Chains A and B, each alone.
Chain A
Amino acid sequence: MSKLADQGSLLPANTESADVQAIEVHNLKKSYAFKPVLRNLSLTLPHGQRMALLGANGTGKTTLLRILVGLSKAGSGTVAINGWDSRYALQEIRQSIGFVAHQPYLYEELTVLENLLFFGQLYAVPRARERAMVLLERVGMARRVNERVRALSRGQVQRVAWARALLHQPSLLLLDEPETGLDQDGSVLIDTLLAEYAAHGGSILFTTHQLERALALSDQVVIINGGKVVYQHETVDLTLTDLRQTYQGIYGGKQV
């Protein structure tokens, strides 16, 4: 593989063993101000698989992602990412995760390239500048590397956020409504990146409100309601009509 291709690869830097689950969550509980958000939630994502997390607002999807990335602590239960127990190996977990959320998690006063170089230093990415440039090319932002983030549109910021999440070649991508802020071209681009990432053995867990996208981009769908998993099914033998009916059955006909 050429040096440039290596820099642009979405292949995780340290591909995990296929025996290790990408995500293993058991009996997870979390409350905010005595209000339970997650109730005995258990979930397993095999290595190299893509999972779509569905559910209405306030059902605990974002809370689950925040616990998985180590931004929130679980009330009780266990979380293991790529075989690492979150109670003892948070730094290893952080190194292996790429996270894209509603917020871009970028510094507005820094330029696009400065942001990526900064995060490259924090993740100790070798040849960070080359890697950043290749990724920015991939997300269509190579011509705006020297512009400050605050001068970019919402969709452009989101593209940079994607480059930031892939910078350290994570083996697991956690995406909280990844299509947020992206136009049609942006969505197509991200779908292509995700497909390539998955083809290279990366694992993906993403939340979405779009059943079509969930079905098209995942190997299995999970529906959360009341802080626990109420439905889980592989997409290979699932139709959109079935999924829509199941979803509406759980949420009482709520529009998706």
Chain B
Amino acid sequence: MRMTRVFCLQIWAILWKDIRYELRSKQTWLGMGMFALLVLVIFNFTFDLHPDTVAAIAPGALWVAFIFASLLGLGRTVAAEREQTSLDRLLLTPVDRKAIYLAKLLGNLLFIGVVEIVALPVFAILFNLPIWQGSTLLTLILIVILGALGIASVGTLFSVLAAATQARELLLPILVFPLVVPVVISAVRATSVVLVPSVNEPPWLSLLLAFDVIFLSASTLLFQYVIED
């Protein structure tokens, strides 16, 4: 019982430190948010949107914006620690490595989640989509959270690996993109089904959840081997 309490307190301490740090430095949130909005605007300009094509294009545009913005943030959070050698300081402490992973994951999830929730209304306006009707908005938010969890769970693990290299900005997408393809496909298809209900579709939301569970479990177990020298 005491171990669980200490574990939770350690997660909270690291998470709160990251939130406070980000609120002061404003390096990650602003960059991610601006990037996501710019991608949505560019997609809006470059495609010739008609009522019959918008439902096919919009989910892809939304998730391209989200995944690139997420990678921008994922690269920054751990890289900022590495640059100041503070990750070493974290590793010197008797903190369970799983606690470090979960705290970093929750931080990333929070940063990505906030950016996505802010970008969602902009997306709806730019693509003229009726996401406010019925349970559409709630389902969309659920998909966004599950998609962000899938990206963040893999991304947090590999951002530690990439941060230890010179070419971290390049390496992180190369490592993460192939692995999160199942999450992205599920998220795009689930979003598409919400926007234009169709029959005979696989249960994309359940698949997304399953991928999240697999990635989260594997990443939590692997993190301590990745983070140690």
Contact = CB atoms under 8 A, between A and B. Distances in A.
B143 to A, nearest CB: 34
B84 A108 contact: yes
Nearest to B91: A71
Nearest to A99: B92
A124 B6 contact: yes
B6 A105 contact: no
Given A107-B86, A114-B20, A121-B10, A72 B229 contact: yes
Contact of A105 (B17, B21, B88): B88
A109 B25 contact: yes
A181 interface: no
Contacts of B89: 103, 105-106, 119
Contacts, number: 64
Contact of B86 (A70, A99, A105): A105
Interface string A93-110: 011010100010111111
A94 B94 contact: yes
A73 interface: yes
A80 to B, nearest CB: 17
Contacts of B92: 69-71, 94, 97, 99, 105
Contacts of A119: 89, 93
B222 interface: no
Interface in B1-48: 6, 9-10, 13-14, 17, 20-21, 24-25
B95 interface: yes
B50 to A, nearest CB: 48
A113 to B, nearest CB: 13
A114 B195 CA distance: 46
B91 A122 contact: no
Nearest to B27: A109
Given A94-B92, A109-B21, A122 B13 contact: yes
Interface in A1-52: none
Contacts of B52: none
B228 interface: yes
Interface string A211-251: 00000000000000000000000000000000000000000
Interface string A169-207: 000000000000000000000000000000000000000
Given A108-B84, A121-B9, A123-B93, 16 more contacts: A91-B94, A91-B96, A94-B92, A94-B93, A95-B94, A103-B85, A103-B89, A105-B92, A110-B21, A118-B13, A118-B17, A119-B89, A121-B13, A122-B14, A122-B93, A124-B9
26 contacts: A69-B92, A71-B88, A71-B229, A73-B229, A91-B94, A94-B92, A94-B93, A95-B94, A97-B92, A103-B84, A103-B85, A105-B92, A107-B17, A107-B21, A109-B20, A109-B24, A109-B25, A118-B13, A118-B17, A121-B10, A121-B13, A122-B10, A122-B95, A123-B93, A124-B6, A124-B9
Nearest 9 pairs of A and B residues by beta carbon:
A105-B89, A121-B13, A94-B94, A122-B93, A95-B94, A91-B94, A109-B24, A103-B85, A72-B229
